[in-house]
Chain A
Amino acid sequence: MSSPAALLQSDSLGSRLASRGDLTTFFMQLAAEIGADSYMLVAIVHDQDRNDARIVSSNWIFDAIELIGKRLIAGLAQGPLTVAPGIRPKPLVAAAAPGAQGLITGEEARLLDVLGHAEVYSLRLNVGRQRLFALFSAAEAGKIDQPALMKAQLKCCYALSTIPQLIAAAAMQDPLSDRERECLFWVSEGKTTDEVAVILGVSSNTVNSYITHAIQKFAASNRAMAIATAIRSGII
């Protein structure tokens, strides 16, 4: 039986992604190259105290996502095992998980193992200022090639950099206009409305309206919360 990766294999995929289909093909090929069975590309969306996972692309079976839950997936993606490019990755091994990492419970680990995620690696991806997470997992522990995984992490960053609009839309992390972002930045530097107006050379009313719009877009209740949301999602 040919693997899904082989079915999707296409020579047309050069060094540039153009569509969602390309994204799937790219990740399928990459997973096969490094010895992983599954991949998941996740954006983290901050909503007050909660972090939710927005899945951009994945070949996890639907039931695995439903059973494990997006909250846990967000936890995995942002947990202490997640590494930035250039840091040697450490896997979450389901068999050894309970207590060891404090990330997931024994029951959740068992569930992951049964669903074909005996080991899970979590990688941070930087696509410009946007930040995404890639989870690569295999049905047997030790199957994923670590040095290849470290190279794959950069390759993911490069590939996703060729489709910035798609990534921004999927992550929806930066809904602000340039002016709104600038205003919010200066407010986060402790400037008052009047000071920002002088810095940007516009009237105070204009500054207030930019900031009000930013607050509305983030569904925040005040300036402090809008600033916090913007910093957490790496916008300012």
Chain B
Amino acid sequence: MKHADIKAAAEALFNEQRNPFGAFSISSETHHAVTIPDAVRRCRWIAVDINASAFGLYFVSPSPERARLVPSFDSDYPATAVATKFIAGANGEEMVRHSGTSTAPRWWADDGIADSDAVFQNLAWAERAAPLAPGTNGIAFPVHADRGHCGLVVFLGSTIALPEDTLYEIHARCFSLFAAVARIRPNDAGRMRSISKRELECLKLTANGNTSEEIARLLKLSVHTANQYLTQSTQKLNAVNRNQAVAKALRLGLIE
């Protein structure tokens, strides 16, 4: 099948809302109703647009101790591609460090075909990096979503077509895709019992550095009640103590 045929087929199949360039508006319903297969489909769509043969989406693990890439899915979904094993292994570590300080895309050319890196050489803002998977050509886009989620969308292929003008558009679509995936990432939001307004108030004040005594005074409660609210919210958030409860509530966006 020729590239154009695949594109036409994909267009007919996935009839996605591609406005103004494949990115959808935050208010559109699809933004919330996305599933992993949906995300794979959208990522494949981007891959088709730049003529990449493989792709993958990875999260940067939030632990500063072991900076590594955690696979979300790749082009072999629901299985795992060989390239992903390299990317999630030691090869990804340098890329993780890079994505902590820079949003610039990074590319590599290791397929041994002469001039196959010309397409990347023309990209003004993209940098050359060590190969994420040996024997491949590819480009990695650092992406960020709310609540500090950080990740990487990777495209592999010897015949990637990526003019400078398209680079911004593709990266923007990666951002929007990652934001959607970060939302469906398993967190405790679904299983959580609802937290009351009063409990959230107490958590928020704790986050602002207030002690139980101060919270009790501010909210005109007894110290015992304030502590009870905090204990309840800690349990509901599946946290082991107040510090973790505050951190979880902030990361889940329950408090600002």
Contact = CB atoms under 8 A, between A and B. Distances in A.
Contacts of B165: 151
B172 to A, nearest CB: 4
Contact of B103 (A126, A147, A181, A187): A126
A155 B250 contact: no
Nearest to B144: A126
A115 interface: no
B104 A162 contact: yes
A84 B209 contact: no
Given A48-B208, A150-B172, A153-B172, A88 B25 contact: yes
Interface in A185-206: 185, 187-190, 192, 199-200
A216 interface: no
A224 B207 contact: yes
Given A128-B100, A129-B101, A158-B125, A88 B19 contact: yes
A232 interface: yes
A128 B106 CA distance: 13
Nearest to B234: A190
B99 to A, nearest CB: 6
A127 B64 contact: no
A111 interface: no
B101 A188 contact: no
Contacts of A11: none
Contacts of B244: 188-190
Nearest to B170: A154
Interface string A220-233: 11111101100110
A147 B179 CA distance: 20
A159 B125 CA distance: 7
Interface hub of A49, A128, A160, A192 (most chain B Cβ within 10 A): A128
Given A127-B103, A158-B125, A185-B63, A88 B169 contact: no
Interface residues of B, number: 53
Interface residues of A, number: 53
B251 interface: yes
B220 to A, nearest CB: 19
Contacts of A146: 20
Interface stretch (B4-12, B132-140, B155-163, B235-243): B235-243
A88 B23 contact: yes
Nearest to A126: B144
A85 B172 contact: yes
B118 interface: no
Contact of A231 (B23, B144, B247): B247
B207 A225 contact: yes
Nearest to B165: A151
Interface in A26-66: 48-49
Contacts of B169: 150-151
A127 B24 CA distance: 22
Interface string A128-163: 111100000000000000110011011101111110
B124 interface: yes
B77 interface: no
Given A147-B20, A147-B21, A158-B104, A190 B239 contact: yes
A87 B240 contact: no
A232 B253 CA distance: 10
B145 interface: yes
Nearest to A49: B208
B145 A188 contact: no
A158 B206 CA distance: 37
Interface string B89-121: 000000000011111100000000000000000
Contacts of A108: none
A127 B102 contact: yes
Interface in B223-256: 239-244, 246-247, 250-251, 256
Contacts of B130: none
Nearest to B256: A232
Given A88-B25, A185-B64, A221-B209, A164 B101 contact: yes
Nearest to A129: B100
A178 interface: yes
28 contacts: A14-B124, A15-B125, A48-B209, A84-B179, A86-B171, A86-B176, A87-B176, A126-B103, A126-B144, A147-B21, A150-B21, A151-B172, A159-B125, A160-B103, A161-B104, A181-B64, A190-B239, A190-B241, A190-B243, A222-B209, A224-B246, A227-B246, A228-B207, A228-B247, A231-B148, A232-B250, A234-B148, A236-B64
Lowest 9 A-B CB distances belong to which pairs? A190-B244, A86-B176, A225-B209, A228-B207, A158-B125, A188-B247, A86-B175, A161-B102, A15-B124
